[in-house]
Structure 1
């Protein structure tokens, strides 16, 4: 009988703590949308939906250039930090949210900054194993988001002030005792490849949301963003798996997190059947529909297998190969999504197209990873691995 070591239990516990903390961080944009659904018009909500897409792009690119690029270089992977400008962006977002009761544009400009700052701090915590600090951050954000939501159910936009205070407090907690400048700088070329690859990936939801807004309707754009926001509860699991696999491979962790991914998606579907999201997002959830949500869950589930070959190539330093693979994947995504939006004109067709695009991406990365590994020395396939 296999003996379970105390270190294994400790590792699993800290991993679960980081995932739970990340789930609460992911609730921040959901809280913003929940308040907006009661305080602003559908048109204003559509602007906020696009802004959240910008936030995903901004947070992905900035974190990739600062944190993930270091993980692609084993010599400095352990020397992580949180840039001073990231902390400043988080504080500025809180200040901007103070004007939310006056205009929805305050939310439009504040949320991308908040999302970028929170994501930077989270990736630093994962790479540096700061799970205790993350629990403290999660507690502050959890109380703040819950309080803001409860106040927001009355339809008052000053609920954003509570969210602002929580964001500023969370950013401050993460900044305590953490370097604000790098001990060693990452290779600019490697950082550029990693950031560019992430920009390609992170820009796709924003582009698709804009296409849905233009080709279908503002209601569909809000519904599309709401689905992505709800599935954001899965991001801590996928993000944690991705970041840890960028450091080292672990079969146990992959199996554990893959199972957790499936359970989370099932929980999302059950929550919708019970009417939970309709309570949270009020009448705006009527723009979603059950079938698009289920299709979106299938799409997210298919993203798990591609993580393994992707992280292996990135871990080996093959950033150029990963970049071109992502570029090809995005061409497929854009072609499929745009065609579905302009022809069928429904969220069901858009998410069905994304399922096909993700399946193609999975095949692409698997084939590429095998070809790169089998390439003979000097073939030029792995010239960026150094």
Structure 2
């Protein structure tokens, strides 16, 4: 699709794609900033509960994303247009206000996080899918500045450190819900059901796994797991960006841009770990453990999603939501089983190895399914001649 564009236009589109992709750092920053701030405001048992709450909030955000965005982008019989719903924006702003007024209460934080993360997921997803690049750049700056202000305040021992964090989210939410010229398409009910089921089956693994880590290994390992998963989530930014763009149409340019960003993100994370920056951000939980090996394995797990996303998006564009849900259920069960083996070994590294093996297997499964469907379509076309 992009290969047919003139070279200057392709360069401009690639530049805008890269800027919007980089803006996704703001989405990954919020869970990391929450863990960092919590490590300086709350006790270790409270930190463990908040670490699980971050995973639960991410899961809720994924479900909301599936309902609002992915179901519409997967409805092949519609125009596949999306907007940021005002009801979600309102709930997120109320949640931000309540947290700001109770910034030292971990229970309030745990309850409000799902609404904030859901607003961030959906708001950014709409901007990426509809190419609202300028709006998204400013929204990302607001989120990033809020997170930075909160982390700096926490470093200096301020008990109100969560206030800048939620203020940045609220400001970005207000910007992202400004009116647009188009209306949201109505998703096909059957497609929505399968997409939400797919997301629920896949996403529930990580909060469940971290709950088991909290119960069996203690709050320290639960916080470390969340910290590593959150930091390695930097790689998920270009991968999610690529998935959104590929759900609209296949684009070799977006694949190349995203792959380059994944490689750059791995290098950045390794440098940050070796120079002690991550230990400084996350405090004693990170520095008291040998985090480099599980971090590298987590990065490999995230990067393995690159070959998975391409056939996955192709199957979604083909309308194979039912097939994908079945395949994802099998892969998710495999991922949980392999990660549980790592948990049984009392090793976070083994947990990430299990997740990596499952991701590699899913890439093979999706690609085989895509090729089988293409062969079947070709046979039908030949028979119809």
TM range (shorter): over 0.9
Q: Distance in 1 between matches of 2:328 and 2:209?
A: 16
1:185 aligns with 2:189: no
Q: Distance in 2 between matches of 1:15 and 1:377?
A: 34
* Unaligned segments of structure 1, at least 5 residues: 380-386
Could you tell me whether the CA contact under 8 Å between 2:71 and 2:195 is conserved in 1?
Answer: yes
Q: Distance in 2 between matches of 1:45 and 1:77?
A: 44
Could you tell me whether the CA contact under 8 Å between 2:343 and 2:350 is conserved in 1?
Answer: yes
Could you tell me whether the CA contact under 8 Å between 1:246 and 1:312 is conserved in 2?
Answer: yes
Stretch moving more, 99-108 or 358-367 = 99-108
- Alpha-carbon deviation of 1:237? 0.6
Q: Distance in 2 between matches of 1:17 and 1:220?
A: 35
Alignment match, 1:382: none
Q: Distance in 1 between matches of 2:30 and 2:297?
A: 24
2:11 aligned residue (5, 9, 31): 9
* Unaligned segments of structure 2, at least 5 residues: 381-385
2:146 aligned residue (144, 147, 150): 144
- Measured at CA, do residues 285 and 204 of structure 1 come closer, stay the same or move farther in structure 2, by a change above 3 Å? same
Stretch moving more, 115-124 or 97-106 = 97-106
Q: Distance in 1 between matches of 2:126 and 2:114?
A: 18
Alignment match, 1:206: 207
Q: Distance in 2 between matches of 1:166 and 1:330?
A: 34
- Alpha-carbon deviation of 1:34? 1.0
Alignment match, 2:383: none
Stretch moving more, 75-84 or 328-337 = 75-84
Q: Distance in 1 between matches of 2:122 and 2:177?
A: 11
Could you tell me whether the CA contact under 8 Å between 1:78 and 1:128 is conserved in 2?
Answer: no
Q: Distance in 2 between matches of 1:272 and 1:306?
A: 27
Q: Distance in 1 between matches of 2:290 and 2:230?
A: 12
Q: Distance in 1 between matches of 2:218 and 2:46?
A: 13
- Measured at CA, do residues 78 and 314 of structure 1 come closer, stay the same or move farther in structure 2, by a change above 3 Å? closer
Q: Distance in 2 between matches of 1:319 and 1:42?
A: 42
Q: Distance in 2 between matches of 1:38 and 1:113?
A: 23
The aligned runs of 1:138-287 (5 Å cut-off) are 138-178=140-180, 183-286=184-287, 287=289
Say which SS state the counterpart of residue 224 (structure 1) adopts: helix
1:301 aligns with 2:303: yes
1:96 aligns with 2:98: yes
Alignment match, 2:343: 341
Q: Distance in 1 between matches of 2:37 and 2:333?
A: 35
Q: Distance in 2 between matches of 1:132 and 1:302?
A: 30
1:365 aligns with 2:362: no
Could you tell me whether the CA contact under 8 Å between 2:82 and 2:185 is conserved in 1?
Answer: no
- The number of aligned residues is 375
Q: Distance in 2 between matches of 1:362 and 1:6?
A: 34
TM-score by length of 2: 0.92
Could you tell me whether the CA contact under 8 Å between 2:103 and 2:109 is conserved in 1?
Answer: no
Could you tell me whether the CA contact under 8 Å between 2:63 and 2:200 is conserved in 1?
Answer: yes
Q: Distance in 2 between matches of 1:93 and 1:350?
A: 33
Say which SS state the counterpart of residue 137 (structure 1) adopts: helix
Stretch moving more, 249-258 or 368-377 = 368-377
Deviation string, structure 1 residues 60-102 (Cα, Å, up to 9, x no partner): 1111111111111244344211122210221122023124433
Alignment match, 1:350: 351
Q: Distance in 1 between matches of 2:159 and 2:236?
A: 27
- Measured at CA, do residues 78 and 320 of structure 1 come closer, stay the same or move farther in structure 2, by a change above 3 Å? closer
Deviation string, structure 1 residues 137-165 (Cα, Å, up to 9, x no partner): 01211221111111111233311111121
Q: Distance in 1 between matches of 2:310 and 2:226?
A: 27
Say which SS state the counterpart of residue 204 (structure 2) adopts: helix
Say which SS state the counterpart of residue 82 (structure 2) adopts: coil
Q: Distance in 2 between matches of 1:127 and 1:358?
A: 25
Q: Distance in 1 between matches of 2:359 and 2:89?
A: 34
Alignment match, 1:383: none
1:133 aligns with 2:135: yes
Could you tell me whether the CA contact under 8 Å between 1:49 and 1:225 is conserved in 2?
Answer: yes
Q: Distance in 1 between matches of 2:216 and 2:209?
A: 10
